[in-house]
Structure 1
Amino acid sequence: MLTGDTFSSNTFVIELGKFQVETVQDVSGLTLEQDVVETRQVSSTGELIVRKQPGSRRTGEITVTRGMDKSTAFTDWIKETLVNADLDSARQNITISLKNAQKETVRRVNLTNAWASRWEGPQLGAANSGTATETVTITYEDITIE
C-alpha cells in the first residue's frame, strides 16, 4: 500500500469476546470523544480570561446492522442483557479489525466492557421485498485505536 492510499471501509471483521460475528452489514458511531473543561477568570485589570483544557474521556455507543440469519452466537449475546438482565456475563471486549485487500489487519478498534443496550428488529410487511435486518446498539466503557 502506497503512502496516501486509504483503507477500504467495506473490509472489516467484528470479534465479540471469543467468537467472530459471522455477518455484518454496517457499523456506525465509532467515535473517540473527550469533555472540554472551560475556566473563566478575570485578571487584575478586569480582562476576561477563558482557558480550555481536556476533561474526562467519554464512553460511547456504536450501532451494528446485520442481516438476520440462522447464526445464534450474536443473538445469544444480545439476549444476555436485554432478556436475561445478566450484565456481568454479557460484558465483552469487542475488536473491530479493518483489513486491506490481502485480508491482513491494518487497524484495530477495541471497545472495552461492551454490552447490547438496544435491539431493533426488521421492518416486516407483505409488500416488502428487501432483506430482514436487525440493528443493535452496543454501549462500551472505553475505546482504543491501534
Structure 2
Amino acid sequence: MPLPDLDSSVGHSFGLEFDSVLIRQITEVSGLKMEQDVIELKQNTADGKYAIKKLPGRPKAGEVTVSRGLTEDNSFERWVKESRFGQMTSARRNGAIIVYDYEGLPIKRYKLINAWPKSLEIGTLKAGDTSVLTEKLVITYESMEVD
C-alpha cells in the first residue's frame, strides 16, 4: 500500500537495479538530481524598460555516487573494466534507484538512462582500523526519469 499524501518516505529503504538485476547491500546513494540550463533573454518591454526573462534550456547529464561495503562481488569492477577498455555498447546501461515504503513496496523509481561508471574508489586501508571497508562507484548518466 503506498504512503498517504501526508506521510513522507524515509531514506533508509532503497535499492539499485541495473539491467533487471537488483544490486544488494548498497549503503548510500548521493548526488541524485535533475538539472537543466537556464537561458537568460534580455529585452526591452513595450514601454522601453529593461527586462530579463529566464527560460528553460537543455537538460544536463548527471552523476550519482553509490556506496557499499566491500564484498567478494566484483560486478562494479567488471562494469568499470568495460568502460575503461572502450566497450561502451555493453558499458552503457539503463538502471534505477528504487525507494521503498515501510512495507517494502516501491514508491519511487529514479531511472538512469545510458549510465556508465566513471570511477571506482576503495575506502582507506589503515592498520588497526576497525571500520568497514567500502567501495564507491560514481555513475554518470545522460538523463533521468522519475516514475
TM over 0.5: yes
Q: What corresponds to 1:13 in structure 2?
A: 15
Aligned pair partner of 1:73 in 67, 72, 75: 75
Aligned pair partner of 2:66 in 60, 64, 67: 64
Q: Percent identity?
A: 32
Match for 2:141: what amino acid? Y
Q: What corresponds to 1:40 in structure 2?
A: 42
2:36–2:57 contact (8 Å) kept in structure 1:
yes
Aligned pair partner of 1:28 in 22, 27, 30: 30
Computed over aligned residues only, the root mean square deviation of the Cα atoms, in angstroms, reads 1.5
Deviation at 1:58, TM superposition (A): 0.8
Deviation at 1:42, TM superposition (A): 3.2
2:93–2:114 contact (8 Å) kept in structure 1:
yes
Distance in 2 separating the partners of 1:81 and 1:38: 37
Deviation at 1:29, TM superposition (A): 0.5
Return closer, same or farther for 1:128/1:36 CA change in 2, 3 Å cut-off: same
Match for 1:123: what amino acid? T
Alignment TM-score, normalising by the size of structure 1: 0.92
Distance in 2 separating the partners of 1:49 and 1:90: 46
2:76–2:137 contact (8 Å) kept in structure 1:
no
Q: What corresponds to 1:87 in structure 2?
A: 88
Q: What corresponds to 1:139 in structure 2?
A: 140
- Which consecutive unaligned segments of at least 5 residues does structure 2 have? none
Deviation at 1:144, TM superposition (A): 0.5
Q: What corresponds to 2:103 in structure 1?
A: 102
Q: What corresponds to 1:117 in structure 2?
A: 118
Alignment TM-score, normalising by the size of structure 2: 0.91
2:9–2:101 contact (8 Å) kept in structure 1:
yes
Aligned residue pairs, count: 145
Tell me the secondary structure at the aligned position of residue 74 of structure 1: helix
